[in-house]
Amino acid sequence: MPVHNADIATIFEEIADLLEIRGDNPFRIRAYRNAARSVGEFGREFKTLIEAGAEPPKLPGIGADLSAKIHEIVTTGHCAALDKLRKELPPGITELLKVPGLGPKRVQALDRELGVATLAQLKQAARAGHIRELAGFGARTEERILESLAVHAEQAQRVKLAVATQYAESLIEYLKRARGVRLVVVAGSYRRMKDTVGDLDILVTARPGSTVMERFVAYDEVREVLAQGETKSSVVLKSGLQVDLRLVPAESYGAALHYFTGSKAHNIAVRRLAQARGLKLNEYGVFRGERRVAGETEESVFAAVGLPLIAPELREDRGEIEAARAGRLPQLVTLADLRGDLHVHTKASDGRNTIEEMARAARAQGLSYIAITEHSRRLAVTRGLDPQRLARQVDEIERLNAGLTGITLLKGIEVDILEDGTLDLPDSVLRRLDVVIAAVHGRFDLPRRRQTERILRALDNRHVNLLAHPTGRLIGAREPYDVDMLRVVRKAKSRRICLELNAQPERLDLDDVMCQMARDEGVLVSINSDAHSTFDFANLRYGIGQARRGWLGAAEVANSRPLAALKPLLNRDIT
Ligand code: DGT
Ligand code: CA
Ligand code: CA
Query: Which amino acid residue places its CA nearest to atom 27 of ligand 1?
Result: 264
Tell me, in angstroms, the distance from the centre of ligand 3 to residue 201's CA. 5
Tens of pLDDT, residue by residue over 206-224, are 999 999 999 999 999 999 9
User: E-assigned strands of 44-180?
Assistant: 159-160
Atom 15 (ligand 1) nearest CA: 260
Delimiting residues of CATH 3.20.20.140 domain(s) in the chain: 335-570
Question: In sequence order, which residues have a C-beta less than 8 Å from that of residue 307 and are 6 or more positions away?
Answer: 270, 273, 321, 324, 325
- Residue 272: count other Cβ atoms within 10 Å of its Cβ: 12
Greater pLDDT, 303 or 65: 303
Name the least confident of 26-30, 331-335, 393-397, 558-562: 26-30
pLDDT at 205 (0 to 100): 97
What is the reported pLDDT for 41?
77
Is 539's pLDDT higher than 70? yes
Ligand 1 atom, smallest distance to 271 CA: 29
Ligand nearest 270 Cα, by number?
Answer: 1
Predicted pLDDT of residue 533: 92
Question: Is residue 372 within 8 Å of residue 397, measured between CB atoms?
Answer: yes
| CATH number belonging to domain 5-155 | 1.10.150.110
Atom of ligand 1 nearest to the CA of 190: 8
The CATH architecture of the domain made up of 252-325 is: 2-Layer Sandwich (3.30)
pLDDT of residue 154: 64
Average pLDDT, integer, range 105-124? 88
pLDDT at 2 over 70: no
Mean pLDDT throughout 302-321?
97
The predicted structure's pLDDT at residue 575: 46
pLDDT attached to residue 258: 98
Q: Which pLDDT value is given to residue 60?
A: 75
Question: In percent, how much of the chain has pLDDT > 90?
Answer: 74
What predicted TM-score, i.e. pTM, was given to this entire model?
Answer: 0.83
- Rounded to the nearest angstrom, the gap between the alpha carbon of residue 191 and the centroid of all alpha carbons in its chain is 14
Site to probe by mutation for ligand 1, drawn from 264, 268, 282, 283 as the one with most ligand atoms within 8 Å of Cβ, is 264
Right CATH for 159-247 from 3.40.50.1820, 3.20.20.70, 3.30.460.10, 3.40.50.1000: 3.30.460.10
Distance 200 CA to ligand 1 centre (A): 10
Element (H, E) at 280: strand 280-282
**Is the omega angle on the peptide bond into residue 499 within 30 degrees of 0, that is, cis?**
no
Who lines ligand 1 at CB under 6 A?
Answer: 188-189, 194, 197-199, 201, 259-260, 262-264, 267-268
CA of 267 from ligand 1 middle (Å) equals: 9
**Confidence grade of residue 54 (pLDDT, cut at 50, 70, 90):** confident
- Give the residue range(s) of CATH 1.10.150.110 domains in the chain: 5-155
C-alpha 199 to ligand 3 mean position (Å) = 5
CB within 5 A of ion ligand 3: which residues?
A: 199, 201, 244
Assess whether pLDDT exceeds 70 at residue 294: yes
Average pLDDT, the chain: 93
Does the CA dihedral 13-15-17-23 come out positive or negative?
Answer: negative
- What are the Cα distances from residue 527, in Å, to 65, 82, 391, 553? 37, 38, 27, 12
Please tell me which residue, 295 or 47, carries the higher pLDDT value: 295
Task: Give the residue-averaged pLDDT of 18-27.
Answer: 89
Separation CA 244–CA 224 (nearest Å): 12
For residue 489, CA distances in Å to 447, 452, 495 come to 19, 11, 10
CA of 402 to the centre of ligand 3 (A): 53
Q: Which ligand is nearest to the CA of 264?
A: 1
Identify the nearest ligand to the CA of 161 by its number: 1
The pLDDT value given to residue 216 = 97
Q: What DSSP string describes 383-396?
A: T-B-HHHHHHHHHH
Which residue, judged by its Cα, is nearest atom 26 of ligand 1? 264
Q: Rounded CA gap, 438 and 492, in Å?
A: 12
DSSP state of 451: H
For residue 246, the CA-to-ligand 2 centroid distance in Å is 12
* Interval 367-395 mean pLDDT: 93
Strands (E), 60-198: 159-160, 181-186, 196-197
Residue 565: pLDDT over 80: yes
- β pairing state of 280-282 and 242-247: unpaired
In one letter, which amino acid is 373? T
- For domain 335-570, give the CATH superfamily: Metal-dependent hydrolases (3.20.20.140)
pLDDT band at 303 (very low <50, low <70, confident <90, very high): very high
